[in-house]
Amino acid sequence: MKPNLPPTFPEAFIERYASILGAVQLERILHGFDAKRQTWFRINLLRGTIDSAKVILIEDGVKFIMDEFLVDAGWVEAEDRESLLSSKAAQMGLIYVQGLASQLPVRFLDIHPGLSVLDLTAAPGSKTLQIAGLASLDDEIAAVELVRKRKFKLQDNLRRHGADHVRVFLQDGTKVWKYRPEYFDRVLLDAPCSSEGRFRLDDESSFSYWSPSKVKEMVRKQRRLLFSAVHALRPGGTLVYSTCAVSPDENEGAIEHILKSFEGCIKIDPIKFDAPERVEPVLKWRNKQLNDQVAGACRLVPSERMEGFFVCKMIKTDTSHPPTPGKRN
């Protein structure tokens, strides 16, 4: 049974995803939009260790549980959110409040010291900080953001949490590959999207902007950014693409497009992650059958633990140069 929807909830959303995802998955998604969400946090390894943070949280009397898979992550119940936010650990920047789903892309990027890393759409910098915490201080980390105000927010966030060494660029990510072709060992594209996975039934502003044309507009942006991400990645490097969108156009469709455009240069590395929220990627819609490899992507429905999310990990197997923008973009 569907939860009670506010009268302003877009009917077009229901129609669209009932036909693409089916009634059962749509119902799960709608219940996820209604769920009381846990507050997840990540221990900021730039400021301390997992053990030191846990000790301070315990001293602060915060009732938290650490995750088994994401060993530097934990959560509190919705009603304990305030005690977490006002804790000494939060004030010291020793913990960083970041949703569970949002922590996954960097996890799959396999960051370790000695790599050059590009975060192509970085503000406000939750994932850049996560990358910086796993890399070493002298590694090259570049964070790119298009919107001036958000770039300042990103810089401030990085500074407050001990990541001043990250190089921040106010730039259009679609052009980065021109300055650094086949350069980075790792590229993260946490793309601008329709943010459907973040809808809350009790917050009209979370869905009031949504329309099918918004999805189309996002698809155009994502394709251009993906094109740049692939060209900026060195052969042998890893690209992780993520969105908090529900629409297959922005997720599986974007990956299908990139596999076609860069045939022979890019392959999917299937994501291993067991979670009750994980559902099969959409491999067929509007009579279009996608590449079998897309099955290795990770589609997550929203729940009390996380927002709706999509992550796909890709390896660059061969050079993509010289690029042919007209053809591939």
Ligand X SMILES: C[S@@+](CC[C@H](N)C(=O)[O-])C[C@H]1O[C@@H](n2cnc3c(N)ncnc32)[C@H](O)[C@@H]1O
Catalytic residues: 244
Binding mask 185-214 for ligand X (x = CB under 6 A): -----x-x----------------------
Residue 145 binds to ligand X (criterion: CB under 6 A):
yes
Q: Return the H-helix or E-strand segment holding 325.
A: helix 325-328
Give the one residue of 39, 44, 87, 174 binding ligand X; rule: CB under 6 A: 174
Give the one residue of 144, 229, 290, 297 binding ligand X; rule: CB under 6 A: 144
Residue 125 binds to ligand X (criterion: CB under 6 A):
yes
Give the nearer residue to ligand X in terms of CB position, either 37 or 54: 37
| Helix, strand, coil share (%) of the chain residues, nearest 5 | 40, 20, 40
Give the one residue of 150, 234, 267, 278 binding ligand X; rule: CB under 6 A: 150
For residue 308, what are its two tokens? 């709706």
Contacts to ligand X from residues 217-236, by CB under 6 A: 221, 225
Strand partners, 74: 41, 66
Q: Please give the full DSSP string across 163-192, using - where no structure is assigned.
A: -TTSEEEES-GGGHHHHSTT-EEEEEEE--
Give the nearer residue to ligand X in terms of CB position, either 56 or 226: 226
Give the one residue of 74, 133, 162, 173 binding ligand X; rule: CB under 6 A: 173
Closest separation in Å from C-beta 101 to ligand X? 11
Residue 126 binds to ligand X (criterion: CB under 6 A):
yes
Longest dimension (CA), the chain: 59
- Which range in 110-118, 121-129, 177-185, 246-254 contacts ligand X by CB under 6 A? 121-129
For 92, residues 6+ apart whose C-beta sits below 8 A from its C-beta are 47, 48, 56
Strand partners, 312: 241
- Which range in 46-54, 60-68, 143-151, 290-298 contacts ligand X by CB under 6 A? 143-151
CA torsion through residues 317, 323, 326, 327, sign:
negative
- Which range in 145-153, 159-167, 203-211, 232-240 contacts ligand X by CB under 6 A? 145-153
Cα separation, 293 vs 296, in Å, equals 6
Q: With H, G, I as helix, E, B as strand and everything else as coil, classify residue 300.
A: strand
- Which range in 63-71, 146-154, 202-210, 274-282 contacts ligand X by CB under 6 A? 146-154
Strand partners, 298: 311
Q: Which residues bind ligand X (CB under 6 A)?
A: 102, 121-127, 144-147, 150, 172-174, 190, 192, 221, 225
